[in-house]
Amino acid sequence: MKKTSTRLADGREIIYYDLRDDAVRDAVDRRPLGGTTTASEIRYDPLLAEWTAVTAHRQERTYHPPADACPLCPTRGGHLSEIPEPGYDVAVFENRFPSFTGGPGPEAASGPPGLLTHRPGAGRCEVVCFTPDHDSSFASLTHEQARLVMDVWTDRTAELSLRPGVEQIFCFENRGAEIGVTLQHPHGQIYAYPFTTPRTARMLDSVARHAARTGGRNLFDDVVAAEAADGRRIVCESEHWTAFVPHAAHWPYEVHLYPRERVPDLPALSEEARADFPGVYLEVLRRFDRVFGPDEPPTPYIAAWHQAPFTLPARGQRTGGTGDGAAASAAREDFALHLELFTVRRTSGKLKFLAGSESGMNVFINDVPPERAAERLREVASDCQPPGVLPLSTHR
């Protein structure tokens, strides 16, 4: 993999990741762009003990442009885009409309007794373009291309974790207008958060409590082992990865993908696990596109990597979750890297909306039994066994 960093016309960084070591990236961004202006702030909610980002500048971001004006396609002819090169393997650039940007700043509070706490929304947001093909998808990538994306996620996680004030890295892909995607070109994003996210903090709290109850056992290990022993919700497996529908799935079709060896984040994965990843992940994505039948449009989904924070909060320090510092009792090494993939489509032509119970009280109600979802995802397996994917009986 060759990595080349350069700048766009407004000063934002763009990084090319190439499969060939002799690739040359020297195209100049010819757009007449002015400097970016951002005003990201995070505000603390003392009732939920979590941070909310306030980003008024994002109202101006690009919204559903026509295909011939796509900002993520390569620059060709008269079409000038965010990517000055006429072609690329994978390109990563700073988001022009970031939710988090810049370095850390002082915390301020007002109101008795200092309940209205806020500080700059420090961090960084990046866009990851998987392919120059506008009409493609992650599922249509080759194994070599998917492996390159895995290496990009890993490299960006390692680099962004060194930025001042960054506490957690989140690599994810949103696909489909139903999800809220405003650019149809295949791409993902990376958020470098200035705090531990609420979901991760809750997981760390649960891990710590499970260890206290069980004499030090790891909750992630026990959950994956329980799913493997039950077997009904296993979707597919490879030598180094296990994909299953969780017992208490929130979404109609939801798959969690775990490496067999627990590691806290992407940089900690073994070379064997990295090489094995494309086969099982591409197979799961392709099954998602077949799950509702051949006449349905591509399945909308969110694919999200869950990684351990790089800086765990001290006891009593505000986190993204409980705020009581309980997460600090779980070490980084106790967290298990995993990917969560889910769709908002619940059946043909119908979406799962987050209505009163989900949005109002965060209590999910799932219309599709997880066992049935897993069975359906097994039914739509590829006709030919994908490279690296094992028959389910292999590990039973």
DSSP string of 47-102, one letter each residue: TTTEEEEE-GGGGGS--S--GGG-TTSBPBTTB--SB-SS--SEEEEE-SS-SS-B
21-29 LR contacts (CB < 8 Å, sep 24+): 23/89, 25/85, 25/88, 27/75, 27/84, 27/85, 27/86, 28/84, 29/80, 29/84
List CB contacts of 293: < 8 A, sequence separation 6 or more.
348
- Do 152 and 46 fall into the same domain? yes
Q: How confident is the model at residue 55 (pLDDT cuts 50, 70, 90)?
A: confident
The CATH number given to whatever domain includes residue 301 is: 3.30.428.10
Say whether 125 counts as a known binding-site residue: no
Q: How confident is the model at residue 230 (pLDDT cuts 50, 70, 90)?
A: very high
- Do 207 and 298 fall into the same domain? yes
Q: What is the pLDDT of residue 38?
A: 75
- Do 178 and 315 fall into the same domain? no
Q: What is the pLDDT of residue 156?
A: 98
Minimum mean pLDDT among 141-145, 207-211, 302-306, 311-315: which range? 311-315
Say whether 70 counts as a known binding-site residue: yes
Choose one of 163, 193, 223: the last residue of a domain: 193
Residue 293's domain spans which residues?
198-395
3 state SS of 40: coil
- Do 13 and 129 fall into the same domain? yes
Dig out the tokens for 189 from the structure. Answer: 């994003």
Predicted TM-score (pTM) of this structure: 0.92
Q: What is the pLDDT of residue 282?
A: 97
Looking at residues 1-10, what average pLDDT do you find? 96
| Cα–Cα dist 93/65, whole Å | 19
Tell me the residue type at 348: S
* Helices 271-290 and 370-379, packing angle to 10 deg: 90
Of 141, 174, 123, 152, give the one whose Cα is nearest residue 304: 174
| Cα–Cα dist 348/274, whole Å | 34
Say whether 210 counts as a known binding-site residue: no
Q: What is the pLDDT of residue 62?
A: 62
Phi, psi (5° rounding) for residue 6?
-145, -170
Q: What is the pLDDT of residue 383?
A: 85
Q: What is the pLDDT of residue 396?
A: 46
Dig out the tokens for 204 from the structure. Answer: 């760390």
Say whether 134 counts as a known binding-site residue: yes
Choose one of 132, 158, 193: the last residue of a domain: 193
Phi, psi (5° rounding) for residue 64?
45, 60
Give the number of domains in the chain: 2
**Longest Cα separation, the chain:** 65
- Do 167 and 26 fall into the same domain? yes
- Do 168 and 216 fall into the same domain? no
Catalytic residue numbers, as ranges: 187
Looking at residues 214-220, what average pLDDT do you find? 97
Looking at residues 190-201, what average pLDDT do you find? 96
Phi, psi (5° rounding) for residue 17?
-115, 115
- Do 98 and 150 fall into the same domain? yes
Q: How confident is the model at residue 61 (pLDDT cuts 50, 70, 90)?
A: low
- Do 39 and 137 fall into the same domain? yes
* Helices 219-230 and 198-214, packing angle to 10 deg: 80
Which tens digits make up the pLDDT trace of 246-305?
999 999 999 999 999 999 999 999 999 999 999 999 999 999 999 999 888 999 999 999
| Cα–Cα dist 267/260, whole Å | 15
Phi, psi (5° rounding) for residue 299?
-70, 125
| Cα–Cα dist 229/244, whole Å | 12
| Cα–Cα dist 13/123, whole Å | 14
- Do 11 and 126 fall into the same domain? yes
| Cα–Cα dist 306/265, whole Å | 8
- Do 186 and 208 fall into the same domain? no
Question: Percent of the chain at pLDDT above 90?
Answer: 75
- Do 366 and 220 fall into the same domain? yes
Which tens digits make up the pLDDT trace of 322-380?
344 444 446 889 999 999 999 999 998 888 988 899 999 999 999 999 999 999 999 99
Return the number of other C-beta atoms located less than 10 Å from residue 333's C-beta: 12
Which tens digits make up the pLDDT trace of 98-140?
999 988 888 888 877 878 999 999 999 999 999 999 999 999 9
Q: What is the pLDDT of residue 197?
A: 96
Choose one of 167, 193, 219: the last residue of a domain: 193
| Cα–Cα dist 280/241, whole Å | 7
pLDDT, greater one: 347 or 64: 347
- Please determine, for residue 31, whether its predicted confidence score (pLDDT) is greater than 80: yes
Phi, psi (5° rounding) for residue 245?
-85, 125
Q: What is the pLDDT of residue 59?
A: 60
- Do 187 and 202 fall into the same domain? no
Asked whether the beta carbons of 239 and 390 are under 8 A apart, the reply is yes
Dig out the tokens for 294 from the structure. Answer: 């051949």
Looking at residues 181-197, what average pLDDT do you find? 94
Distances in whole angstroms, Cα of residue 240 to Cα of each of 266, 366, 389: 14, 30, 10
